[in-house]
Amino acid sequence: MSDVKRVYLDHAATTPVRPEVLDVMLPVFGRQYGNPSSFYRSGQEARRLVDQARQSVAACLHADPREIYFTSGGTESDNWAIKGTAAALGGKGRHIVTSRIEHHAVLHSCDALARQGYEITAVEVDADGLVSPEAVRAALRPDTILVSIMMANNEIGTIQPIREIGAICREHKVLFHTDAVQAAGALPIDVGDLNVDLLSISGHKFYAPKGVGVLYIRRGVRIANLLDGGAQESNRRAGTENVPGIVALARALELAVAEMPATAQLQSRLRDQLIEDVMSRIPHTRLNGHPTRRLPNNVNFSFEFIEGESILLMLDHFGYACSSGSACTSGSLDPSHVLLAIGLPHEIAHGSLRVTLGHSTQAEDLRRLTADLEQIVARLRAMSPLYEEKTQAGL
């Protein structure tokens, strides 16, 4: 079946580089290849590109250009924010608050600190995946040095009350980091309005290439460096700048911000139609994540009695690229920590399917997906001993 139409529905994993972004980025590889730290003209030309990109990113986030630091991606930004704060403020306190549903870049950074004697409180979320600001407040202690709560979740799309959590942190004079990797380009971000001190974004989630990101660090906030070396990024992040990536990230973010109202409206309409169609046509299905407070492009279902990898494999066979939180796709024994944190029993978490829309997504693709999914779920249920038990029990 190599002749089926390929439909990419995994935009939360990564996105293609869009043509307008390639246009500004490609010349930087071949013609404008100078090192921004070099004295001569081509170096200064590269410096100008990086400076412009920094201004543009700052404008998109309502920040000052001096608060924008380019990194190698979301993972580095998260590591830097958390480990850098811990190293800078470890003398003041050793307690960090986060949530159960953070990306592993945050959770595993916290684990690494826990091994060095820091204490981590991961607050629970409700059944829709929401972190309650009051739960964050209750977790704060006199020795808390950092709160890290993601802006929007990569699996279930739930959008957190960042502004409210930020206000609580400010009131208690605790630094607040948000992983906005899934939010950037999809939701408006105003760092002042959101009360954040540190914010991570990653280019490849909004049609820039992989391997470039940003850490926003509020003016006056001191965190330790993660990478030591040259004087790049105002002595705070060493390493020759990824100039093509930086130029691309800035352009992609500008475009995403300019198009945001239209994209959000279009995608949330497609999203809601897909949810409605699938829920009405396929019984024993649940929607994971918040019904309304969710990313415009995120849909996450659990189909009872069947397992996620087998759904993905059949979907792949029919041309669709999606993802799942089942253990079999993660290479571990446990299904996704996010699905377990919202209270799903293991067997239902194993049966999850994430569909994330993007620029290329057409209503027609989703109509076909719904029809194919209906058949796939029926086929797999016909093979499942769990389904048989339930149907015999009259459920």
Ligand X SMILES: Cc1ncc(COP(=O)(O)O)c(C=O)c1O
252 CA to centre of own chain:
16
**Using rule CB under 6 A, residue 73 touches ligand X:** yes
Q: Are 223 and 198 a contacting pair, CB within 8 Å?
A: yes
Catalytic residue among 60, 169, 322, 328, which? 328
Candidates 18, 54, 83, 103; binder of ligand X (CB under 6 A) is: 103
169 is catalytic: no
Give the gyration radius of the chain's Cα atoms: 22
The site partner of 305 among ligand X, other proteins, none (C-beta below 5 to 8 Å per kind) is other proteins
Candidates 109, 202, 298, 352; binder of ligand X (CB under 6 A) is: 202
Q: Which stretch binds ligand X (CB under 6 A): 72-80, 311-319, 337-345, 379-387?
A: 72-80
Residue type, 321: A
Q: Which stretch binds ligand X (CB under 6 A): 69-77, 167-175, 244-252, 293-301?
A: 69-77
**Using rule CB under 6 A, residue 150 touches ligand X:** yes
Site string for ligand X, 104-143 (x = CB under 6 A): -x--------------------------------------
The site partner of 317 among other proteins, ligand X, none (C-beta below 5 to 8 Å per kind) is other proteins
Select 20 or 347, whichever has its Cβ closest to other proteins: 347
Phi–psi pair at 149, nearest 5 degrees? -130, 130
Annotate 79-98 with DSSP letters as a single string.
HHHHHHHHHHHTTT--EEEE
* Residue 340: other Cβ atoms inside 10 A: 16
Residues 210-229 contacting ligand X, CB under 6 A: 213
3-state secondary structure of 64: coil
The site partner of 19 among other proteins, ligand X, none (C-beta below 5 to 8 Å per kind) is none
State the virtual CA torsion across 99, 104, 105, 111 in degrees, nearest 10.
70
Residue with tokens 């709560």: 149
The site partner of 264 among ligand X, other proteins, none (C-beta below 5 to 8 Å per kind) is none
Alpha-carbon distance of 122 to 137, in angstroms, equals 12
Beta carbon of residue 386, minimum distance to other proteins (angstroms, whole number):
5
Q: Are 30 and 244 a contacting pair, CB within 8 Å?
A: no
Select 215 or 282, whichever has its Cβ closest to ligand X: 215
The candidate with the shortest Cα–Cα distance to 150, out of 295, 258, 347, is 295
Q: At what angle do helices 243-281 and 41-61 cross, to 10 degrees?
A: 30
Select 359 or 390, whichever has its Cβ closest to ligand X: 359
Phi–psi pair at 126, nearest 5 degrees? -85, -175
Beta carbon of residue 330, minimum distance to other proteins (angstroms, whole number):
10
Which residues form the interface with ligand X (CB under 6 A)?
73-75, 78, 103, 105, 150, 154, 179, 181-182, 202, 204, 213
Residues acting as catalytic residues: 328
